[in-house]
Chains A and B, each alone.
Chain A
C-alpha cells in the first residue's frame, strides 16, 4: 500500500513536470539566454588564456585576439625567468606566498571562527548575551579604513609582515554566526552533556565530540576563507610597501605589474642573460593572470555545493 502511494506520488510529480512545464519554444529561448550568459562569464578567462599563449608578434599585428596568428609559450618561460637580485624566482616566491598565506590564514580563521561559534551556541554560557552584542556590533558599525590602517600599522606593527595579510581577514561576524547557527541546530545537547558527565573539559568536548561531526560546516567556512585569502590583494596594497617584493602574493604582484613589468626584474641581470631581447610584457602579464586564476577555475566547480550550503545556513536566523 505504502509503495503504491509512493509510486502514485512519483507519477503525479512526473505528470506535473510534464504538464506544468514551460512551452518548448520558451524553453529554447531560455536555453539560449542562459548559454549566452554562461559564455559571457567564461569567455574572459578563456580570452586571457589565449592571450597568454599568443606570440608577441601576433599581438603587435592583430592585437589581443581569439585566434592569434602565432602561438607561443614564451611568456611562461620569461615569467619563470623573472629573478630578484638574489637570483630567486619572483613568480615562485609570489605563488608560495599566496599558498602560505591562504593555508595559514584558513587554519587560523577556522580556529577563531569555530571556537567563537561554539561558545555562542552554548545556551548556558554566562556571558552569552554580552558576546552576542559584541559580535553583532561590528556587523553594522566599523572604524573605517583610516582608523583600521593606523591601528594596524602604528599600534599592532603589522606593516610589511605576512600577518598583515592574514590576521585582518581571519574572522568575521558573518562566519561566526553561520557557525553558531550550525552548532545550535545540528549538535544535540545530549552529546555535550554526555561529555560533561564523563568529566571532559569544554576544550575536549569541542575538539573530540563537536568538531568531528561538524565537518560540513567547517568545510564551508574553510572554503570561504581559502578563496578570500587567495584572491586578496587589498590587504597587501594597504600594508606591504612596494619595495618589499619578497612579501607579495600573486594578486598584489598583478597590481604592481599593471603599468610596468620591468619593475619586477632586476633589469641588468635579466637583459644580459638574454642578450638584449625585449620582454614580451603583454603576454607575460596575462600569463601571471592565468597562474593566479587557474587553480580557482579548476577547483571551484567541485566546491560549489559547499558554498551553497553556506549560503543557506547563513540565511537561517538562529
Chain B
C-alpha cells in the first residue's frame, strides 16, 4: 500500500495545472469515482442519522426528512444502547469480539501449521489433491453451508440424530434451546472449516517463496526438521502472518454475517449465541415491527468507528515492531 503520510520529500517541479493527459485519466476513472461516491461516501454521510432523531416527513424523500425534519439529538441514540438495552448490547459486543478473537488466533495458528505440514508431504500429488479439496468450502455460500449443516443437524432426518438413535442415545433438537451450549463450538468449527483452505494457500504461497539454500545451510549445520521450522520457516512467514493478523484485527467489530445468521437459521432460541453487531443491525431493520433508525444507526456508527480505530492501532503496533510489514 502506498504510504499516505507525507508526500515525496524531493521538491517537485511545478507541473502545468491539468494536462490533457490528466483530463483523459480523470475521465477514464470517472465511472469508478461516481461508484465510490454513491456506494461508499454517501453512506458515510448517512451516518449522521446516528446523531439525529429521525422523523419521516410524509410525502417527502428520505433526504428531506433527515436534513430538515429531524432534530439533532447529540448522543441520545447511544444512550439507548447502554441504558435501556444493556444486556443485549453487552451480549452482542461480547459475541462479536469473542468469536473474532478465537477466529483470529485459530485462523493464524492452524493454517500455518497445516501449510508447513502439507509442504512436507512426500507425495506432491496428494498435497495438490487435498489442498484443492480443502479449498472447496471457500467457494460455497453460507446459505449452501446452512443446508449442509441442516443435513447433519435436522431434528427429524438429520444424520447426527439418526446415528444417536441407532446407538441408543436420545435425539437432540439442534436448533432449539437445549442445544445452546453446543453452538459456540459449531460456529467456531464452521468458520475454521470454511476459511482454512484459503488461508493455508496464502501461507503456502509464501512458504514456497523461501530460499531453499537456507534449508540446505541448516541441514549442513545439523538442524533438525523442528529447528528448521522454528528458525527458518516461521521467521520467514512472520510478515505475511502479521499482515493477515492486522487485517483480521481491523475487522474485529465486524462479523461474518452469513455464518451467524444462516447456519443457525436465525433460530430465536439460539439468539444469545449468535447475536453479533451485524446480526443485531440486520434483525432490527428487517425482522422487527418498528425499526428505530436512530438506535440502529448508533450501533452501526459505533461499529464503524471502533473498527477504524482498531485497524489504525493494530497497524501502528505492527509498524513499531516491523516497519516493513505495516499495511499503511
Contact = CB atoms under 8 A, between A and B. Distances in A.
Interface of A: 12-13, 16, 19-22, 24, 26-27, 30-31, 33-35, 37-42, 44-45, 47-48, 51, 59, 62-66, 111-113, 115-116, 118-119, 122, 124-127, 129, 131-138, 140-152, 154-156, 167-168, 170-171, 176-177, 196, 201-203, 206, 227, 231-234, 237-238, 251-252, 254-255, 258, 282, 285-286, 289, 292-293, 296-297, 300-301, 304, 307-308, 311-312, 315, 317-318
Kindly list the 5 A-B residue pairs having the minimum CB-CB distance in the complex, ordered from nearest.
A143-B43, A144-B300, A154-B62, A147-B46, A38-B133
Contacts of A140: 250, 307-308, 311-312
B28 A118 contact: yes
Contacts of B132: 301, 304
A311 B205 contact: yes
B206 A227 contact: no
B202 A315 contact: yes
A113 B114 CA distance: 34
B139 A254 contact: no
B141 A37 contact: no
Contacts of A202: 21, 24-25, 28
Interface size on B, as a range, is 35 or more
Interface of B: 1-2, 4, 7, 15, 17-19, 21-22, 24-29, 31-33, 35-36, 38-47, 49, 61-63, 114, 117-118, 120-123, 126-127, 129-130, 132-137, 139-148, 151-152, 154, 156-159, 161-162, 193, 196-197, 201-202, 205-206, 212, 215-216, 219, 225, 228, 240, 243, 250, 257-258, 262, 265, 278, 281-282, 285-286, 293, 296-297, 300-301, 303-305, 307-308, 311-312, 327-328
Contacts of A38: 129-130, 133-134
A193 B141 CA distance: 44
Interface residues of chain A: helix, strand, loop or mixed (majority)? helix
Contacts of B307: 140-141
A282 B161 CA distance: 16
Nearest to A231: B141
A312 B204 CA distance: 10
